[in-house]
Amino acid sequence: MTAPISPISAPVLAEPISLAGGAKSAGGFQEALASAIRSVESSGQQASTSVEKFLSGEGEELHSTILATERAQLSFDLFMQARNKVVSAYQEIMRMQM
């Protein structure tokens, strides 16, 4: 019997951001963004380490190396899509007439 497949973790905001807090919510958004960046960087570093171990023959399996690189790529792609949506929303707000 095989073990169930676990979902790929992605950088996701841990808690919803409330705009009622004023300056406090800006810090929350900043921390959420910094956390997402750290998560993407971490998965990229893990993939790089996995590839280095595989190429040096340190016993790293090919499938785990491929999974680590794909996880890092998907994590980066998700982060970039979220970034693009935030930039687009900001540009839309800036186009609004006051």
Q: Which two tokens stand for residue 68?
A: 């680590």
Q: Which two tokens stand for residue 36?
A: 């997402």
Q: Which residues span the domain enclosing 42?
A: 24-95
> Is residue 3 one of the residues assigned to a domain?
no
User: Residue 71 carries which side chain, given as an amino acid letter?
Assistant: R
> Is residue 6 one of the residues assigned to a domain?
no
> Is residue 87 one of the residues assigned to a domain?
yes
How crowded is residue 14: how many other Cβ atoms within 10 Å of its Cβ? Answer: 9
> Is residue 8 one of the residues assigned to a domain?
no
Q: What is the pLDDT of residues 15-53, one digit of tens each?
A: 444 444 444 555 788 898 899 999 999 999 999 999 999
Q: Give the span between the Cα atoms of 91 and 47, in whole angstroms.
A: 34
Q: Report the number of distinct structural domains present in the chain.
A: 1
Q: Give the span between the Cα atoms of 87 and 95, in whole angstroms.
A: 12
Query: In sequence order, what are the residues at sequence separation of 6 or more whose Cβ sits closer than 8 angstroms to the Cβ of residue 47?
Result: 65, 68, 69, 71, 72
> Is residue 44 one of the residues assigned to a domain?
yes
Query: In sequence order, what are the residues at sequence separation of 6 or more whose Cβ sits closer than 8 angstroms to the Cβ of residue 29?
Result: 17
Q: What is the pLDDT of residues 45-95, one digit of tens each?
A: 999 999 999 999 988 889 999 999 999 999 999 999 999 999 999 999 999
